[in-house]
Amino acid sequence: MTTNPVRLPGKRPARILLVEDEIFIRMDLAAALREAGFEVIEADRADAAIEFVESGEPVDLVFTDIQMPGAFDGLALAGLFRARYPMVPVLIGSANPALESAASKLGKFISKPYDPGGIARLIAACTQ
């Protein structure tokens, strides 16, 4: 069952930048978020997410994994968003609970394994 799009007041559906290198996790989360009515932009590494945002494309929330290949990890991506886009909420996920302290300084920490429905509800609360 499709829900109504999660729209910002008087605007388009909320746009979520989902950054996760594990394809099946990313596909599962993206599907749940789209089902909940979000527009989802997928990236498999932080470098690609940075390129997307620096192209001038707006995002309403970033959900990123911490450990990814590439020049930047999810913590660096979250730090960039805190510095350049402080009004954009950042959710940071990891299977490593030892990273929670560092992640919590930059955004909200989400522990793996993810509950896609729970993530969709949390994102809905953060973007309204």
The pLDDT tens digits of the residues spanning 34-69 come to 999 999 999 999 999 999 999 999 999 999 999 999
Task: State the Cα–Cα distance between residues 125 and 26, nearest whole angstrom.
Answer: 20
56 token code pair: 């001038």
3 versus 80: which is more confidently predicted?
A: 80
Q: Give pTM, 2 decimals.
A: 0.90
Q: Kindly indicate the confidence band of residue 127, based on its pLDDT and cuts at 50, 70 and 90.
A: confident
What the chain holds in terms of domains, given with CATH numbers, is: 15-127 (3.40.50.2300)
Could you tell me the CA-to-CA distances from 33 to 3, 29, 117 in Å, in that order? 10, 6, 8
Q: Kind and range of the H or E element at 109?
A: strand 108-111
